[in-house]
Structure 1
Amino acid sequence: MPKQKQKLIAIVEDNQPFRESMQKLIALLGYTAESFPSAASFLASPFVAKTACLVADVNMPGMTGPELHRHLRDAGYKIPTILVTAYPDDVVRDRALKDGVVCYLSKPVDDDHLERCLGSAVRSGESPEQAS
């Protein structure tokens, strides 16, 4: 099994059915997946420092996906992030991509697109030359 496939992918999603299906899909793609119902539950977990890639919903109560990404960056974590949303918004997407988000995906998420984004995110996280 390729080394990057053993990397931990954290899913932060307030919609339980989507969170569970995303966790199953990521596991089927060969990654280790942990899921959380909120940014706060992820931040309180022991998995933050071990996360190779974060998949977060854009619109969540409390802290949104883009806010979580900025919070992690500001705290010194360089976790490649993929944002997913049921309500695509060009302004939010453009800002997120400028903030360094790897991918901005619309729900329902295309499996092949997600797999490409995960591969790109995990590779970007491995590169010490990666600019933050």
Structure 2
Amino acid sequence: MKKVLVSVVEDDRFLRESMCRLMRSLGYTVDIFSSAADFLASPRLAETACLIADIHMPAMTGLELCRRLIDKGNAIPTILVTAFPNDAERARALNDGVLCYLGKPVDEVHLTRCVCAALTSAGSPEEGL
């Protein structure tokens, strides 16, 4: 089926594994990471077709990770998830090029739509609060 790589960066093990199972059930290849630094060190970073990252993580936030990738010329379609959604942060994220900004608990249907949009580069940024 789909051979594209979706990378998940989430410091909460349960959520990381849950998103991994969902993406695999949709037929995607999935790499999971517990921190932004681990993802940045991945030898498959350049293969990542879609990035799902938690916003609030120790050391480097999901938004900082997204900015770092853009600054290095490696803009990956990114979906940010957060347990603490707020309008200012959402506006900043979408303005910085994030495709979707989703509140936790993440709605699987909405997440699936965001991943499909990221992989087809179609549609406008979505909000999922």
Q: Which residue of 2 aligns with 1:104?
A: 101
Mapped pair 1:66 → 2:63: yes
Matched residues, percent identical? 59
The correspondence for 1:46, drawn from 38, 43, 46, is: 43
- Match of 2:60, as an amino acid? M
Contact 2:66 2:75 in 1 (8 A): no
- Offset, 1:124: 1.5
Deviation, 1:30, is 1.3
Q: Which residue of 1 aligns with 2:125?
A: none
Instruction: Look up the match of 2:127.
Output: none
Using the TM superposition, give the Cα deviation of residue 15 of structure 1 relative to its aligned residue in structure 2, in angstroms. Answer: 0.4
Q: Any stretches of 5+ residues in structure 2 without a counterpart?
A: 123-129
Query: What are the within-5 Å matches in structure 2 for residues 1-132 of structure 1?
Result: 1=1, 5-124=2-121
Aligned residues: 122
More helix, by proportion: 1
Structure 1 segments of 4 or more deviating over 3 A? none
Q: Report the TM-score, using the length of structure 1 for normalisation.
A: 0.90
TM-score by length of 2: 0.92
- What secondary structure is seen at the aligned counterpart in 1 of 2:67? helix
Which residue in the other structure is 1:128 paired with?
A: none
